[in-house]
Amino acid sequence: MTAGLEGKDEEITKLNTLLENAEAVRADLENQLSSAVTLSTDTQAQLTEEQDRANALDASLTKVEEVLADTQAQLTAAQAQASDLADQLSTLETQYGALEKSSTTLTEKVEGLTSDKADLEKQVEELTTSKADLEAKVAELGDALEESEAQVLRLNELLQPTPTPTPTLTPTVTPAASPAGR
């Protein structure tokens, strides 16, 4: 954008030089015109021609002045636009800085969450292993319980008194059976 402004400055400088040259030529022509008034009729045609050329230069000078004014207005607008763009750039740089900071914060959070996830996955794996171990122990305890219940039932059967026959009047004595012997 600065190169474009420098190009406009060079163009304005050239136009100013042309303007100065044209004004010098105009002044010169006006001097020639005033001295030519006294010349003869033959030189009157030449004077008219010079006058036409001076008028053309004057029109050209007016056009150059208009172009110069337009160029200066464009330069002023370009400078205002450059200032606006600089402000926008500053705002964008500020926003970019905030985004970078936010991105860094989010990256740190993601890294923390990734670490937490890895820890949780390890804990899940350990709990899965512990669960399997506990299920195996529960199965063993269940088997042991069933075996204990069976033993309790056998002991209960052994501990139940055996019916003794009602004594008859026979004088024979029968020895009592011991529970350990059964």
Say what the pLDDT of residue 182 is.
43
Taking CA atoms, 180 is separated from 56, 151, 175, in Å, by: 149, 15, 15
Q: What is the pLDDT of residues 160-173, one digit of tens each?
A: 876 665 655 555 55
Torsion angle, CA of 35/36/37/39, rounded to 10 degrees?
120
Say what the pLDDT of residue 81 is.
94
- Residue whose structure tokens are 């996955």: 121
Consecutive 10-residue runs of the chain (182 residues): their mean pLDDT? 73 88 88 67 76 90 91 93 94 93 92 90 89 89 90 87 62 55 46
> What's this model's pTM, rounded to 2 decimal places?
0.36
